[in-house]
Amino acid sequence: MIEIFSLTNLSIPVIQAPMAGGITTPVLVSEVSNAGGLGSFGFAYSSPEIIGRDLRLAQSLTQGPINANFFLFQETALPDSKTIQLAIESLREIAPDIDFVIPASPFYPDLEMQLEPIWQLRPSVLSFHFGIPSDLIMQRARALDIAIGITATSLEEALQIERAGANFIIAQGIEAGGHRGIFTNELTDARLTTFELLPQVVRRCTVPVVAAGGIMDGRDIRKAIDFGASAVQMGTAFLCCAESGASSEYKAALMAERPRPSVFTKGFSGRWARGVENAFTRHMEGKSTLPFPMQNTLTGALRQVAARSHDPEHQSLWAGVAFHKARALKVCELMNALQIELKG
């Protein structure tokens, strides 16, 4: 019988955050796990074939635990033609040479199909962003001894997660890079910082809590543990690692001597996400967008052109508020540094 994953099994209490779009390579994930943490894949938009391929490769490179993370997409439909046209015009203003195509159904991957390789390969952890999976998914994970972690941005969400039977809660502060994990109505987001949210969740919930958002070094980890966290989740800290799939211009933006701020934008995906300010985020302030994830599909051509031309001004440079503290190290070197700082 496989022993179900526990955060207490980590020799370094660090979960490398799941980051979609090719950032979390099999080598990055496996190196984190080899160093005593929990490496995570961001499989938000991935096909079952890619999920199976990447998981198999990572599992061949480590005996440590691996986390597979998925988005929970909500049912959505194309808005009216005027809204669509405004969204396209907003993009044409900044990229007139690109042919922006209206997204077609299905607007997001089929989660049941995405999970097929998970049930076959049985990673140690299965985690979710934007909500709680169905009872059937929870039950199947339990039957296969796969632990489940779910992101919460508020105490109310954390309590729902605990009632659903998750093994741990990821308390995401407003400082975190990438997509805000709020379940439904973003207008109700209290935008709590990590160290405002963490003690609330620790005090009211009995399952282990992972702190996420603005955590970049061992001193930050120590503070989170002192506040009651069982571990931390760190994404931005790993972006500049040699094993990261981030582009060279992405890494350069993070390591710039005069860094720009990180800002929230709906411009890339239709849902609030935090990244380094660039020409695109500035242009899209107050502009019309399609609902998530249709806007992500709509902007795909722009992001692909920017990537091919090594143009950071039109790429989604997801990063948390403290990205200026990122270090260009190998994963093993970063994990070693985090452990030394944590003990110091």
Q: Which whole number is the average pLDDT over 261-280?
A: 97
Does residue 187 register a pLDDT over 80?
no
Mark whether 189 and 254 lie in a shared domain: no
| Greater model confidence, 257 or 49 | 49
Tell me, what's the pLDDT at 272? 97
Q: Tokens 């809660």 label which residue? A: 169
Q: Report residue 294's pLDDT band, with 50, 70 and 90 as the boundaries.
A: very high
Mark whether 55 and 82 lie in a shared domain: no
| Greater model confidence, 90 or 2 | 90
Residues spanned by the domain of 160: 1-73+108-242+329-344
Q: What's the mean pLDDT when you consider all of the chain? A: 96
Kindly state the tokens that stand for 241.
């690692």
Does residue 179 register a pLDDT over 90?
yes
% of the chain at pLDDT higher than 90:
97
% of the chain at pLDDT higher than 70:
99
Answer for the pair 115, 133: CB distance below 8 angstroms, yes or no: no
Tell me, what's the pLDDT at 154? 97
| H-only helix segments in the chain | 26-34, 48-61, 81-94, 111-114, 116-121, 135-143, 155-164, 194-204, 218-226, 248-255, 279-283, 294-298, 300-308, 331-343
Mark whether 238 and 254 lie in a shared domain: no
- How far is Cα 310 from Cα 52, in angstroms, rounded to an integer? 29
Tell me, yes or no, if the pTM score tops 0.75: yes
Tell me, what's the pLDDT at 184? 86
- How far is Cα 147 from Cα 3, in angstroms, rounded to an integer? 10
Mark whether 174 and 311 lie in a shared domain: no
- DSSP-derived 3-state class of residue 42: strand
Mark whether 199 and 307 lie in a shared domain: no
Domain count, the chain: 2
Does residue 274 register a pLDDT over 70?
yes
Does residue 25 register a pLDDT over 70?
yes
Tell me, what's the pLDDT at 344? 84
Mark whether 32 and 146 lie in a shared domain: yes
Mark whether 86 and 125 lie in a shared domain: no
Does residue 265 register a pLDDT over 90?
yes
Mark whether 178 and 229 lie in a shared domain: yes
Tell me, what's the pLDDT at 186? 77
Of residues 91, 137, 88, the one with CA closest to residue 114 = 137
Mark whether 152 and 4 lie in a shared domain: yes
Mark whether 309 and 173 lie in a shared domain: no
Mark whether 62 and 205 lie in a shared domain: yes
Q: Which whole number is the average pLDDT over 36-49?
A: 98
Does residue 178 register a pLDDT over 80?
yes
Mark whether 61 and 158 lie in a shared domain: yes
Does residue 2 register a pLDDT over 70?
no
> Domain of 53: which CATH number?
3.20.20.70
Does residue 283 register a pLDDT over 70?
yes
What DSSP string runs through 299-331? THHHHHHHHHTT-GGGS--B--TTGGG-----H
